């Protein structure tokens, strides 16, 4: 039994539960809600690693679901199963598990109704910043509103919630599962008939990340939740769970160089890259800034910046491009000349002027500029060229934002079947254990990412795991 800590909530809980859910984001919450609704007479416990005010894992940084639908109120047009599967197969270059992908995509169609039943409001309006695609529905208030709503549902269902509680180990005995937990230095034991592990990846565990990325991690930031240390995932591997995905595959984006080390979420992201050029610390361009629509390229730039010297780059625009897209949260560095700007950034003025002049000389004279589509306004003769939206950088003042790579979540996962059961390396299944959410994302994403699927994978695996776990209990 956990000992009571001064000034903390009482941990005098029953230590036997029918279903224990480890994690506190969307997957864990949907699992716990489903389990509790499946059999109201049984006892469900949710163990969240973060304190209450930071609960919700990475889900609180999400905002949309990509789902199969006909014409409906939440999107600008239909999106069918085949299109959805094709989009993911393209992004993953085939590194995906067919039956899991099939299940996630098929069951995505039921999500809006499930969410509505559980208090979530989806945006009706087809307007504003979010409606750039017909594939996604947007959550009123975003991911944290979703998380708060689901926690409220759990309270109403009488599910016990433990905050600030870490899982130290899992073990199996003939009664079920023994989970050793700790909080503020005191430790305790909880028994579960079955358990759903939905505690996310290890994007905040720098030591573990270094295994996949080396020292580049030290110059990167963690966009995701600081509490996602991946310990429960590690414990599953120690129990013999089969691994899927690679330790060097994760969701990355380019963020502002001034972003905090953890929990910057989406607001630190820089969306201005198609508006100008990107140079590294040596003032060299290194990739086609106008290769494709930004919605299809924003994930790539995290990897690109990570591969630059010291993981640093700068996006540079001139004043005619200011306001063409969402403004980042951080104000830009500015200079009335490119030289001034370079000095403020701490890079070589001569080299920056040279790179910009060279770029300007290769911009086509009569270019039609249209940011909403691939406008074909390409430079020629440069290495690399900028394929679209090429305009001269010549109207002072000039603006720059420093870039850094930011990791959102990791793909390294436990291998699951369509019942969210966990495969063992040695063959067979890890009995009474179920997995959901980010720590199963590798079953879908061996590579790449498609926007709005994180919540869908979490919900589909979460609902399945919650239901199966309760049937086990």
Partner 1 sequence: MPEVSMFVSNIEESERQYMICNACRHCEGFCPVWDAMERRNFFEAKDIKFFSYLCHDCRDCFYACPYSEPHEFGLNIPKLNSTIRYQIHAENAWPAAASSIFSRSYLSATVVYLISIISLLYISISINGVNSLFTVHSSFYNVIPYDIMDDAGLALGLYILLMWIIQGFKYWASIGGGSRDLFRLRAHVVSIYEVLSHKWFKGGGVGCDYPKENGTRTRMFYHSAMFFGFLSAFVATIIAAYLQRILGYNPPFPILSGPVFFGVIGGVLMIIGGSGFIYMKHSSEKDKADSRMLKSDYVVIAMLILISITGLVTLILRSSSIMGLILVIHLSLVGTLFAIVPFSKMNHIIFRYLALLKNNVEVSNAAARKVPQISGGN
293 sits near partner 1 (criterion: CB under 8 A): yes
Q: Which stretch binds partner 1 (CB under 8 A): 71-79, 174-182, 242-250, 318-326?
A: 318-326
**Residues 186, 3: Cα–Cα separation, whole Å:** 6
Please list every residue from 128 through 157 that binds partner 1, using CB under 8 A.
Answer: 128-130, 132, 136, 140-145, 148, 152
**Residues 172, 201: Cα–Cα separation, whole Å:** 23
**Residues 32, 26: Cα–Cα separation, whole Å:** 10
Name the token pair of 432.
């009474």
- Minimal distance, residue 456 CB to partner 1, in Å: 11
118 sits near partner 1 (criterion: CB under 8 A): no
H-run or E-run covering 471: helix 454-472
Q: Which stretch binds partner 1 (CB under 8 A): 28-36, 78-86, 195-203, 266-274?
A: 266-274
Q: Which of 102, 112, 84 is nearest to 451 (CA)?
A: 84
Neighbours of 146 (CB within 10 A): 29
Please list every residue from 351 through 390 that binds partner 1, using CB under 8 A.
Answer: 371-372
330 sits near partner 1 (criterion: CB under 8 A): yes
Nearer CB in complex with partner 1: 253/413: 253
- Minimal distance, residue 455 CB to partner 1, in Å: 8
Nearer CB in complex with partner 1: 188/264: 264
Please list every residue from 186 through 225 that binds partner 1, using CB under 8 A.
Answer: none
Nearer CB in complex with partner 1: 4/156: 156
**Residues 140, 121: Cα–Cα separation, whole Å:** 6
Q: Are 377 and 366 in contact (CB under 8 A)?
A: no
- Minimal distance, residue 29 CB to partner 1, in Å: 15
- Minimal distance, residue 370 CB to partner 1, in Å: 8
**Residues 167, 22: Cα–Cα separation, whole Å:** 8
- Minimal distance, residue 288 CB to partner 1, in Å: 16
410 sits near partner 1 (criterion: CB under 8 A): no
Indicate which single residue of 43, 49, 63, 285 sits in contact with partner 1 (rule: CB under 8 A). Answer: 63
Site string for partner 1, 224-263 (x = CB under 8 A): -----------------------------x------x--x
Residues that bind partner 1 (CB under 8 A): 53-54, 56, 60-64, 121, 123, 125, 128-130, 132, 136, 140-145, 148, 152, 253, 260, 263, 265-269, 271, 274, 293-295, 298-299, 322-331, 371-372, 408, 449-452, 454
């Amino acid at each position: 039994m956990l000992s009571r800590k001064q000034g903390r909530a009482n941990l005098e809980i029953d230590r036997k539960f029918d279903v224990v859910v480890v994690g506190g984001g969307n997957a864990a919450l949907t699992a716990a809600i489903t389990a509790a609704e499946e059999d109201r007479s049984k006892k469900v416990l949710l163990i969240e690693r973060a304190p209450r005010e930071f609960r919700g894992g990475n889900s609180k940084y999400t905002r949309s679901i990509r789902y199969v639908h006909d014409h409906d109120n939440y999107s600008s047009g239909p999106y069918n199963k085949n299109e959805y599967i094709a989009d993911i197969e393209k992004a993953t270059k085939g590194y995906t598990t067919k039956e899991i992908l099939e299940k996630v995509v098929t069951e995505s169609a039921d999500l809006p109704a499930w969410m509505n039943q559980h208090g979530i409001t989806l945006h009706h309006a087809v307007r504003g910043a979010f409606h750039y695609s017909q594939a996604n529905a947007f959550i009123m208030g975003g991911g944290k509103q979703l998380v708060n709503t689901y926690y409220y549902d759990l309270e109403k269902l009488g599910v016990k919630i433990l905050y600030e509680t870490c899982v130290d180990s899992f073990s199996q005995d003939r009664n079920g599962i023994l989970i050793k937990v700790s909080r503020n230095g005191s430790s305790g034991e909880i028994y579960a008939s079955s358990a759903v592990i939905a505690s996310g990846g290890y994007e905040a565990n720098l030591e573990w990340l270094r295994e996949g990325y080396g020292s580049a991690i030290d110059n990167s930031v963690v966009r995701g939740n600081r509490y996602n240390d991946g310990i429960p995932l590690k414990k599953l591997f120690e129990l013999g769970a089969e691994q899927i995905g690679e330790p060097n595959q994760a969701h990355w984006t380019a963020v502002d160089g001034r972003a905090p080390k953890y929990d910057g979420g989406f607001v630190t992201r820089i969306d201005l890259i198609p508006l100008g050029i990107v140079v590294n610390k040596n003032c060299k361009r290194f990739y086609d800034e106008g290769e494709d629509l930004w919605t299809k390229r924003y994930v790539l730039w995290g990897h690109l910046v990570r591969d630059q010297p010291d993981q640093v780059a700068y996006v540079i625009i001139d004043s005619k491009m200011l306001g063409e897209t969402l403004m980042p949260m951080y104000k830009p560095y500015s200079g009335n000349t490119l030289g001034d700007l370079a000095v403020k950034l701490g890079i070589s003025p001569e080299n920056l002027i040279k790179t910009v002049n060279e770029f300007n000389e290769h911009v086509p004279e009569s270019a039609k500029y249209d940011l909403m589509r691939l406008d074909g306004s390409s430079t020629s003769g440069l290495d690399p060229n900028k394929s679209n939206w090429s305009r001269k950088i010549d109207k002072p003042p000039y603006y720059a934002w420093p870039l850094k790579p930011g990791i959102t979540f990791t793909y390294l996962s436990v291998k699951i079947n369509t019942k969210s059961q966990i495969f063992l390396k040695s063959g067979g299944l890890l009995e009474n254990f179920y997995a959901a959410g980010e720590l199963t994302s590798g079953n879908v994403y061996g590579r790449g990412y498609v926007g709005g699927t994180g919540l869908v994978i979490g919900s589909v695996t979460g609902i399945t795991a919650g239901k199966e776990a309760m049937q086990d209990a």
